[in-house]
Structure formats: C-alpha cells, structure tokens
Amino acid sequence: MSIQTKPRSIGKRHRLAKPELLAPAGNLEKLKFAVHYGADAVYIGGQKYGLRSNADNFSFAEMKEGVEFAKQYGAKVFVATNIYAHNEDIAGLEQYLRALEEAGIAAIIAADPIIIETAQRVAPKLEVHLSTQQSTLNWQAVKFWKEEGLPRVVLARETSIEDIAQIKANVDIEIEAFIHGAMCSSFSGRCVLSNHFTDRDSNRGGCSQSCRWKYDIFEEDMPMFSSEEDKFTMGSKDLCMLEYIPDLIDVGVDSFKIEGRMKSLHYVATVVNAYRQAIDSYMADPEHYELKQEWLDDIHKAANRPLNTGFFYDTPGAEDHIYEPEEKQAPYDFAGVVLSYDAESGLAVVQQRNHFKPGHEVEFFGPHGTFFKQIVNEIADEAGNPLDAARHPLQHIVIKTEQPVKPMDMMRKRVRP
C-alpha cells in the first residue's frame, strides 16, 4: 500500500521558526500520550458545544489536569466549541467559556459567530481559532476573520497548496490545516445524511458517518446487487501528508492538525510520533532532508483506511473514495503500555490492551528512541504466577524484554504479514 505520489510544486518561501504539531485527544489518557509522543498542542472536547458528542470528552477537572500535564512539556490545550448553535444552545454559553478560561485552556475552536463574539467579550484570555466548519477557502475570507480579531484560521479540508500560498501572501495570520486523518465525503461539515437517516445532527456533534454504511441501488424496487455481492459505500480515503512535510512548511502552514478524537490511543501516539520525527528532521537540516521509510511504515501500522493527499494537489476523483468493502489496513494490534522497567532483571510491567501470549511477535516503540521487535516468551502476573496468555483487559503483565523500555512506551502485536 502506498500513498499517491505528487511532485514538489512549491518554491522556497519564508520559513517558519517551527510549525505546531496539533493532535487530537478524545480523553485524558490520550491527551497525555499525544503530548508525551511529541504534540505541541492538543485539541479536546468539553461536555458542551463540540462536534464529537460521542467521544469521552472532558470535565473541567480533567481539563485542568490536562493543562497542567501539557505545561510540563511546553504544550497547549485547545477546546473545540465548533457547533452551529440553535437558540436552546445559547443558555449557559458565557459561564462555559469563562470556565474554560479559568481552567487554563489556551484557545477555543469555533465556527458560530455568537460563540466567537461571546468568547471575545467574556473570556478575553482565550484565543479564538476559526473552525474548519466555516469552510474557509480564500484569502479575502481569511482577511475578514483577521479583522474580526481572530489570530488563526483552520482552513477547509478542500483548500489546495496553491490556495494556502495565496492566503499567506495576502494575510498575516496563523493558518492551521488538517494534514492527516479522515476526510468528509461531503463538503466538510455540511453533510445532512446523518440528519435524514438517523435524526443525528452532524453539525451539533452527532454525525453517524452515513457515508461509511453499505448501500444498494434499486431499480423499480429491485436491488441491483445480488445477495452474494458486496454492497457499496461512499466513504473517502484518509488523508496523509507525511511525504510532503517540506511543501507544507515551505508554503507557510503554521499548525499541522491530525484528525481523530475518536481514534485509539495507539493511533494517536503512532501518528504523532511519525510526524514529530519528520518535522524535526526537516527543520534541523532542510537541504539534506530525506523521508524515512520507517515513518511511513509506522503510519501504515495504525492506518484504518487507504491513504491519499486529499485536496492539496488536485481534486479527489473516484480513485480517492472507497466503494467496496475495506480491507484491514493495519497489520498490528495495540497490545499494551509499558508501566515500568527494571534494568537489572530486564523485566517490564505492561498493562494489557489486547490479547497476546507467548509465541506472538510484538514490537515495542516510544518517542525517545525505543524501537525493536521480539517474540514473547514467558509471561506472568505481578505476583509471579505464570500465564498462558494475557487475556484480561488492563491486567498488569510481567514480560522480559530484549532491550530496555521506558514508561509510556507501547507494545503492538503483529496480526498478519
């Protein structure tokens, strides 16, 4: 599986001091791992006003804990308040925004003008970043929002590299762009299939991802596919711009945003780690930068769908959508998290996240150089009792590792060639 190859079409432009790597965090644990694995900032959802109502989302106490953890790494926390509000949503908005400010949140991501205006009025320490839900594509619209006092615009996913170049040439403002994750089959954020099919409003946080369902076509009440044939979907392939980090930096993107507040802990850590290495490598020596295959390999170990480059270089066509049942992309399953390691004995305590047993090939990885494969030999519980398998969720498993590991390193299990 490979990502579409696009030619480098962007000339050298003013370089940023360093672009921000912005990661999703569906809960407090994911926030901590995203930051630990290299995110400069994370975006989360609170209990109200966000577009991922099915995520775990954060209480104010969890926000405060997340902010304090992020500060230890010099990272920031943003909160999505990106719904389009109905009349009944407005009650309590001022109190909610003030509470975000008091929790130490650095910025909100908003689309509705009333949320933007209210935040500027009652919580002035909160930056307001314009959400991608506004579908901003051109420099004059970006200029409008700058004049409204916003320091950053999150561009629509449909924006091209050349569009970004024109925006940066005409408006002195921070630009945030999605560079990895799920794409929308509709114009981003404007789909109403979920509303019609399930009465779940995609613009109020309830999208049922109707584009990923299986469909049939009917002619005079007769299905065109036989019962033995696979039904079709109309979902888009996922976005991946790891191969084109130099283009994104050269054109002036200020914040590289990864989609996925509903994605797994393993997905968040793996993707953040790969982009962190690529960005740091390019910024350290742009003239001699080389994309490493191991970064791409890591992305594929967590990928849920085939990958492409979205709208950055051209308009996606039929080849950029998934009309047939998807093959499982990732050859690895998330198996565990390292809790502790004893250098003298070589024994690690691993918190189990998926079934594994002696004889399985596993891979350890982490943000500070940990990377190796080994076959699982004997395993035991923390009392030293031998186990034939790690089958209980979150059980603490003692395993001998062939190389040193660190707390918060991850273990994944190979499930297919």
CA 17 to each of CA 78, 125, 146, 173: distance values in angstroms, whole numbers, following the listed order? 21, 24, 21, 15
* Burial of 359 (C-beta count, 10 Å sphere; 0-12/13-18/19+): exposed
pTM of the shown model:
0.90
- Strands 127-130, 107-110: pairing kind: parallel
**Between 96 and 191, whose confidence is greater?**
96
Say yes or no to pLDDT of 417 above 90.
Answer: no
Structure tokens at 23: 């990661």
Say yes or no to pLDDT of 56 above 70.
Answer: no
Say yes or no to pLDDT of 324 above 60.
Answer: yes
20-189+235-322 belongs to which CATH class?
A: alpha beta
Contacts of 213 (CB under 8 A, 6+ apart): 233
Determine the topology of domain 332-414 in CATH: Elongation Factor Tu (Ef-tu); domain 3 (2.40.30)
Q: What is the mean pLDDT of the chain?
A: 89
Average pLDDT over residues 96-101: 97
- Taking alpha carbons only, the member of 91, 86, 87, 30 closest to residue 263 is 30
From CA 35, how far away is CA 275, in angstroms rounded?
13
| Domains of the chain by residue range | 20-189+235-322, 332-414
**Residue spans of beta strands (DSSP E) within 143-261:** 152-154, 174-181, 218-219, 222-223, 235-236, 238-240, 255-258
Residue 211 has φ and ψ, to the nearest 5°, of: -65, -15
Say yes or no to pLDDT of 230 above 90.
Answer: no
Largest interatomic CA distance in the chain? 73
Average pLDDT over residues 243-270: 95
Q: What digits encode the pLDDT tens for the residues 157-188?
A: 999 999 999 999 999 999 999 999 988 777 77
From CA 218, how far away is CA 223, in angstroms rounded?
4
Sign of the CA dihedral running 313, 319, 323, 327: negative
Same topology, domains 20-189+235-322 and 332-414? Answer is no
